[in-house]
Chains A and B, each alone.
Chain A
Amino acid sequence: MRSEAVRAAARRLLEEGKVVRFLGHAPGFDPTSPFPQLITRAEEAERLVLDHFCAPNLAKYLLDYETQEGVTAVVLKGCDALGLARLLADHRVARDRVWVVGLPCPGMLDRDKAAALLPGVQEARAEGDEFVLTGAGGERRVAAGQVLLDRCLVCAVPTPDDADELLGEPVPGRPVPREEDAAVAALEAMTSAERKAYWTEQFSRCIRCMACRNVCPACNCRSCCFDSEEPRWLSRVTDGPAQEMFHFVRALHVAGRCVDCHECERVCPMDIPLMKLNHKLLQDVEELFELERAFVPREVEPLGIYRPDDPEEFA
């Protein structure tokens, strides 16, 4: 899709010395799940790709270079850029040490949906409101709605607004009603016993692989409470109340800080609907603190300060 453009940008930035390293994507074991790729020399630019399967958010990898000299260039979509904004608001990354190569994002594909529509899918290209999937099984033309990631179907921020350069023209946000709110409403409609049963069932699958935490731009602590030995806040056992503790603590630690990027849910190998929790909390923050777009990071968040007129209900 934009592989040539990203290679050109990387080559130019590294040659000019504007940046000392470039974070992008490269093909993985399978073309539909690319890996993050760091390059430091212009001639490595050939390894980069940027296609419709480049869903992974690279913002958090910036933390790997927090103690290293020089500017890091990073390829960010609109949603990823909010992750960077989170890191900036949390003072974890300095803006002048990052060069944002923004991708006005047409939406990323859900590899599971694509594979279901065309087994053995290898590539995808956009044609209008459709995607053409190609692979060992031939070629298939599908509607965007059938194959895009759920989050992309309701994306409000496809283009990063803080980019140092853009790979293409800005893409407008989709004015689609947020279906997640319906999911939250369905949860709220349950009795507390039903809700408890629902979440116990969901959390029972958790293998505590920590992928959700590791990918989350809001989970950016140097030292995570879940790793602490003294005190050991959370039992290592993966059943019973410890499962709930883990998930509720995780959700509350990102409450009011979640950037709505859906990465936790995308990477969860057990398909736990983590965004339902995150959305519920985002929605509460918006309602109680009369805030719009609570997922956009702010310097001081409503849950990060005490004001005498704070609503009592958030507890």
Chain B
Amino acid sequence: MKRVGVFLCWCGSNISSAVDLDQVAEQTALLPHVVHVEQYKYLCSDPGQETVRKAIKEHALNRVVIAACSPRMHERTFRRAVGSVGLNPHLMEIANIREQCSWVHPDKVTSTPVAVDLVRTAVAKAVKDIPLEPSYVGIEKRALVVGGGIAGIQAALDIADSGYEVVLVEREPTIGGRMAQLDKTFPTLDCSSCILTPKMVEAGQDPRIRLLTYAEVESLSGYIGNFEARIRMKARSVDLDRCTGCGDCWNKCPYRSPGEFDLGLGKRKAIYLPFPQAVPNKPVLDRATCAYFQKDGKCQVCKKVCAPGAIDFEQQDEILEERFGAVVVATGFDLWDHGRYGEYGAGQHPDVISSLEFERLVSASGPTDGKIKRPSDGKLPERVVFIQCVGSRDEAKGVPYCSKVCCMYTAKHAILLKEKIPSSQSYVFYIDVRAAGKNYEEFYRRATVEYGAQYIRGRVSRIYPRGDSLVVVGEDTLLGQKVEVEADLVVLATAVVSRSDAPQVAQKLGFSYDQHGFFTEAHPKLAPVETNTAGIFLAGACQGPKDIPDTVAQAGAAAAKVVRLFAKDQLETEPTVARVDRARCAGCEWCRPICPYKAIEMEAVTERVGSGQVARRVAKVNPSLCHGCGACSVACRSGAMNLLGFSNEQVWAEVEALCL
């Protein structure tokens, strides 16, 4: 005998002001199996849950329908409340009469019948609810951190410091990431390397952290607590165990080519250390620019001078297969290519540079040893124009969002320029100055007041060369007049964009990304470091533009989520998984390849046919791998695949309740 109790939540006035709940209650009471209907102002509150618990006992309810907000909000709350009085938590259904009703309908006349329908549908489903039990799986207490920038380093350090093993995978030959390319950091003007390098060294030396540099994650399978990763160790041509990092090889290597770390502003050898503080402090041989590989197979200078015999021309890519319980993704960002702005010289003029290039020019470890020499002729620029929002906030050609960090680093650039070249003058074209952050506004004020940066509000329409300088034409929108500034160097604050291969990375690892390629958090406010795949967390600018303090904070938060997971010994899995009706299953395997979680295998079963036994194959669901997405139950033509909690019978009952 099904005894359904229906509880209608006012949600303060969120629901009650837009839905005639008395009328809903009246009509609901007439439904078959419904023995109790009750309203409450805030059902999710403690006394609200208590009314549900009390009614279950008093009215001997064995099914509960909560008509309230989205199940995403409070399904867990009410499952727990129902479970606490001995009812199976899955004998509770939620009718979403807030997001799907009161919030979207204009008045009670339209919304009330919808609420009645939603409640009737939920009652029909609840009547067909069956008790479901979770299963438990163990946890591999090792973390994989993808990306060795400041976010990845911080997350790895925090997890390792909590006593768990970490594998930190970085595709470049060294960890350090973008922060290693920066000179000083706003708003304190700490030297970026000085605060980063100790963390890099710590990560390199911590016995619980295994650094895999020049490596990439090829694939990730499995599920929270039990991921399996295939990691490609790219052939470095250097045996890291033997190499002492003495430097003989890169000093003697006769071939130079533009260095990636300096964005092509400086040169590096074919065997090289990206920058002096690299971790591991050991070189990589770039086969694409090495004469041994590209020309005659002779050269071999590096091999000849290497005393420990660490050079290995025969080295091959290697695949490692490792198991992890959790993954932190910290793959960082790229900068927008300003070559797409024809009016700014389409990236063709050597003295129109990006802000990151400016960082390399001003850095003591950069190609000019920290002297700001302009790329075209090496002259010290006297007049420098900084242009903000290049690509950012430009829906037509660039990206619609604000890149968040450019206002502050441009102020920093103006300060650094004045310190290095006291006679210089900087001009900053801006749309708004966004200096929200601790000590940020003060920092920007210093750039203008103490360092005399001249801020001009307006966009630049054109940059063109005149003699050996550049003419920057724009509009001062405060004065309402055209401005022309002659400059020796123009620095563009190009937008922070996602890595060009971010979508592929997200697909490979199995979580979602937004229209700009930034990885999507599970909830923008309440789950900002989680992805919608359990056990995979996000840190840093791969999730959206972020400055260093925010990145470090987010990395710490992601690490805390990993540690929180590892503190348990077993994981409860959701019982809403697919189940096979073997009698109906024909073994056609249509469900197997369609499962995004590889949760379906085939198994042999024997059946009695006539007087004999016959073996045949049917589908089998691994409940730990199944996420309950329902793809298989849709793919199954004979309806042999059923999603518990959302069974074919339940969905059908809902459709009938709604349509008939």
Contacts and interface: CB of A to CB of B under 8 A. Distances in A.
Of the listed residues A228, A231, A306, the one surrounded by the most CB atoms of chain B closer than 10 A to its CB is A231
Nearest to A301: B590
B637 A225 contact: yes
Given A91-B587, A225-B637, A231 B652 contact: yes
Nearest to B595: A306
Interface string A138-172: 00000000000000000000000000000000000
A189 interface: no
B588 A221 contact: yes
Contact of A91 (B589, B637, B649): B589
B586 interface: yes
29 contacts: A67-B614, A67-B616, A90-B586, A90-B588, A90-B590, A91-B587, A91-B588, A91-B589, A91-B617, A92-B587, A221-B584, A221-B588, A221-B637, A222-B585, A222-B638, A223-B586, A223-B640, A224-B638, A228-B639, A230-B649, A231-B648, A231-B652, A233-B639, A233-B652, A304-B594, A304-B635, A305-B593, A305-B594, A308-B503
Contacts of B479: none
A177 to B, nearest CB: 33
A306 B588 contact: no
Interface string A172-187: 0000000000000000
Interface residues of B, number: 27
Interface of A: 66-67, 90-92, 220-225, 228, 230-231, 233, 253, 300, 304-306, 308
Interface in B554-603: 583-590, 593-594, 596
A92 B616 CA distance: 9
Contacts, number: 61
Contacts of A253: 637
Interface in B603-641: 609, 614, 616-617, 631, 635, 637-640
Contacts of B593: 300, 304-305
B609 A67 contact: yes
* Most chain A beta-carbon neighbours within 10 Å: one of B588, B609, B614, B635: B588
B507 A308 contact: yes
Contacts of A306: 594, 596, 631
A223 B584 contact: yes
Nearest to B581: A223
Contacts of B652: 231, 233
Contacts of B617: 91
A123 to B, nearest CB: 40
B349 to A, nearest CB: 38
A-B interface, 3 closest residue pairs, ranked by CB to CB distance from nearest: A231-B652, A221-B638, A223-B584
Given A220-B586, A225-B637, 11 more contacts: A66-B616, A90-B586, A91-B617, A92-B586, A221-B586, A222-B638, A224-B637, A224-B638, A230-B649, A231-B653, A308-B503
B590 A304 contact: yes
Contacts of A231: 639, 648-649, 652-653
Among A67, A90, A228, A300, the most chain B Cβ lie within 10 Å of the Cβ of: A67
Contacts of B594: 304-306
Contacts of B589: 90-91
